[in-house]
């Protein structure tokens, strides 16, 4: 008596991609909102630092809270992009 095995049909890559996108859509939306906030903080602090630099107040440049905000927002933004990359391409 021959043994027959049932094989599962392999899902199409397009279907897997759409399932992955549907699963990760809330994370992408929340990422988009938080990255816009971080990017706007980064741009505002960068503009303030450029205005300080152009008005020859370079000695106050490192003492401003905007320099700290600039570095924190840039590192947070890069961490956000890294986590999004890991989240989307690890599934």
Please tell me whether residue 27 adopts helix, strand or coil conformation: helix
What length is written for the chain?
A: 91
pTM, full prediction: 0.38
Domain-located, residue 56:
yes
Domain-located, residue 18:
no
pLDDT, tens digit, for every residue of 17-45? 666 666 666 666 666 676 677 777 777 77
Domain-located, residue 7:
no
pLDDT band at residue 63 under the 50/70/90 scheme:
low
**pLDDT value of residue 79:** 74
Average pLDDT, the chain: 66
pLDDT band at residue 58 under the 50/70/90 scheme:
low
Nearest alpha carbon to residue 14 among 24, 6, 26, 22: 22
- With residues binned 3-state (H G I as helix, E B as strand, rest as coil), the percentages for the chain, rounded to 5, are 75, 0, 25
Domain-located, residue 16:
no
Domain count, the chain: 1
Domain-located, residue 39:
yes
Two tokens, residue 24: 């990760």
Domain-located, residue 50:
yes
Residue 36 domain boundaries: 24-89
Task: Please write down the long-range contacts of 9-18, taking CB distance under 8 Å and 24 or more positions apart.
Answer: none
Interval 49-63 mean pLDDT: 64
Domain-located, residue 1:
no
Domain-located, residue 5:
no
Give dist(CA 71, CA 62) in Å, integer.
11
Q: Are 73 and 45 in contact (CB under 8 A)?
A: yes
């Amino acid at each position: 008596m021959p043994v027959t095995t049932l094989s599962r049909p392999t899902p199409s890559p397009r279907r897997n991609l759409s399932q992955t996108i549907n699963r990760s859509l809330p994370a992408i939306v929340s990422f988009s909102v938080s990255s816009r906030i971080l990017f706007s903080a980064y741009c505002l602090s960068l503009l303030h630092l450029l205005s300080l630099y152009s008005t020859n107040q370079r000695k106050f440049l490192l003492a401003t809270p905007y320099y700290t905000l600039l570095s924190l927002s840039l590192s947070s933004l890069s961490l956000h992009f890294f986590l999004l990359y890991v989240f989307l391409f690890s599934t």
